[in-house]
Amino acid sequence: MTHEFVHLAFPDMPRQHHWIEEGLPTYVEPIARVQAGQLKAAKIWRDMIRDMPKGEPDAGDRGLDNTHTWASTYWGGALYCLRADIAIRQATNNRKGLQDALRAIVNRGGTLDREDWLLERALKAGDEATGTSVLEQLYAEVKAKPVQVDLGKTWVQLGISADHRKIMFNEEAELAELRRLITKAPEATAEWNSRSTPESGDTADEANIP
């Protein structure tokens, strides 16, 4: 259900851009559920380590706009979102993230009932909200050619490693704070969660999750 609601918060796109329509909910849904106290951060990072490689290009892929396989549409789009979130936070010293860009798109009227928005318009609105050009530059990079991402390096920088059913966090990693902020609840949500749901922080024991 959360995945489907995320669809409402982005303009309707033509087929060549379905990767952003499906990639956004694939990436945003689990993060939103952590922020709402429904999931533990350890679980969604473990799932990302398992699933994000599906977004890497296969032989014969021709970029996100031209490759309409299931993996490219859902996980190629999600990988774009992960890279964008990290890059926005790096460019703004963690003051802004992908969610800030998405809120700005909605605030400007970029919702599912709008078919007159081009992808370029949405990405520009998001970039203006974060004071960066991350979304537009990353789109230019991946739209028409396959781009291999060094996910192993990304996980090390974020301070995440997984061994079978166990996930471990390195809080001294280069981007450990960035990782924590991605799943940190907005202030209003955090206050509601403290009154309404159990503590959802990740301890060493909680990292061994089903």
Q: Decide if pLDDT at 33 tops 90.
A: yes
Judge whether 210 lies within some domain.
no
pTM: 0.87
Q: List alpha helices for 54-158, DSSP H.
A: 70-71, 77-91, 98-107, 119-130, 134-142, 151-158
Task: State mean pLDDT over 128-137.
Answer: 98
**Count of domains for the chain:** 1
Judge whether 201 lies within some domain.
no
Judge whether 203 lies within some domain.
no
Question: How would residue 144 be classed by pLDDT, with cut points 50, 70 and 90?
Answer: very high
Q: Decide if pLDDT at 201 tops 70.
A: no
Residue-number span of the structural domain to which 22 is assigned: 2-196
Q: What would the pLDDT profile of 44-65 be if each residue is shown by its tens digit?
A: 999 999 999 999 999 999 999 9
CA distance 127 to 124: 5
What pLDDT is attached to residue 8? 82
Judge whether 96 lies within some domain.
yes
Judge whether 6 lies within some domain.
yes
Helices 77-91, 151-158: axis angle to 10 degrees equals 40
Mean pLDDT of all residues belonging to the chain? 88
Judge whether 205 lies within some domain.
no
What pLDDT is attached to residue 159? 98
Judge whether 209 lies within some domain.
no
Judge whether 147 lies within some domain.
yes
